[in-house]
Amino acid sequence: MATAVDTSSQSRTPTPPTSLLTASLVGAVYVLAALAVVFYAVPALWAEYVASQIGGNRLLEGALRVAVQGGAAVGLVAFGRALAGTNPPKGVRGGIFLMISAAFAVFFLTRAVGLWVESRVEGAPGQAVTAAVGLALLFGAYRLFTSPRGERWMIGLEEQGWFHASPYKRALGQKVRRLTILGILLVGGSGVYTLIFQGSLPDNWTITLPFTQKEGAPAGTHQTITLLTDAQYSVPLLLMGLTLWVAYRVVNLPTFAEFLIATEAEMNKVSWSSRKRLTQDTIVVLVTTIMMALFLLVVDLFWGWLLSRETVGVLPAKSTVNQKVEQNQEAKW
């Protein structure tokens, strides 16, 4: 008798999880693309199609554009979290950060070397040297990320908690944590305030590329690329966002959080003086300080008077000092 077998109930080999290196690379590309959309594509499209329709109100135009950029950023973050899934590889966030940092480091180091080489070696040899340096940096980054050390760095950086919003022992050390956050925000906010009101930020952040000057063109006419539009607004917003995130995460790092918790516990053990006792102690200290100052003044005047007597002769008499001063003034005239 034939028996039907349901193949759907058979065990299947589970799909192997995505490797940490591949997931980090894909995530880094997605984050860079999202940043390009938020800080380059949206402002460019806004300036071309929307800004002219608002009627020249810069305040309203700026507020609306920031709102659109914020909405695009939130949507891209949510979409990225959905793509990552519920169980991404351990260390993928740290890997994304390290790969983006490595990409920026390779680009700017290669550019700096290219500009330096261009000022000394022109033509194809200089381009070859710059390309060789860029390829060497890329190969070094590849070897780092494919090595066990790179994987340890990715996992270790994520385990420190910089890329998670979960708090650490939220109910403990709240006062000291809030004061620490306030201090970091004051320092960061002071820096952002200085950047804004000193006018040190350009309208757009543009950089020159080496070996892009056309033949016969005057010096300094290299091709430029815009890394960040409206830098006078974008840079302060980015710095304030970074300051807020650092201020929140630094008090939730396990090692530093334990230190802050222990500090507040020790502060709670301190026996603080009452208002009346503090006033009494302050009066005692001030009176004692004044009395000591008067005593030292009297002692100084007494010994100065005694040692300047002619019978003692240790210090010159006041009349002798005055005569020497008058003689010096006459000699100058």
User: What is the mean pLDDT of the segment spanning 250-268?
Assistant: 89
- Is 44 in contact with 113 (CB distance < 8 Å)? no
Residue with tokens 């200089």: 126
CA distance 38 to 71: 9
Q: pLDDT tens across 207-249, in order? A: 888 877 776 666 657 778 877 777 777 788 888 989 999 999 9
Beta partners for 225? 207
Predicted pLDDT of residue 312: 66
| pLDDT, tens digit, 9 for 90 and up, residues 266-281 | 888 888 888 899 999 9
| DSSP designation for 123 | S
Q: Which span out of 36-50, 104-118, 297-311 was modeled with the highest average pLDDT?
A: 104-118
Predicted confidence band at 203 (pLDDT cuts at 50, 70, 90)?
A: confident
Q: Which residues contact 148 (CB under 8 A, 6 or more apart)?
A: none
Query: How many Cβ atoms sit within 10 Å of the Cβ of residue 110?
Result: 20
Interior/surface letters 161-172, b for 16+ CB within 10 angstroms, e for the rest: bbbeeeebeeee
Average pLDDT over residues 128-154: 90
Structure token digits, residue 290: 């004044």
Do the beta carbons of residue 260 and residue 170 sit within 8 Å?
Answer: no
Structure tokens belonging to residue 220: 């300094």
Q: What is the pLDDT of residues 79-120, one digit of tens each?
A: 888 888 778 888 888 899 999 999 999 999 999 998 888 888
- pLDDT tens by residue, 143-187: 988 888 888 888 888 888 888 888 888 888 889 999 999 999 999
**Gap between the Cα atoms of 130 and 57, Å rounded:** 46
Distance, CA of 176 to CA of 183 (rounded, Å): 11
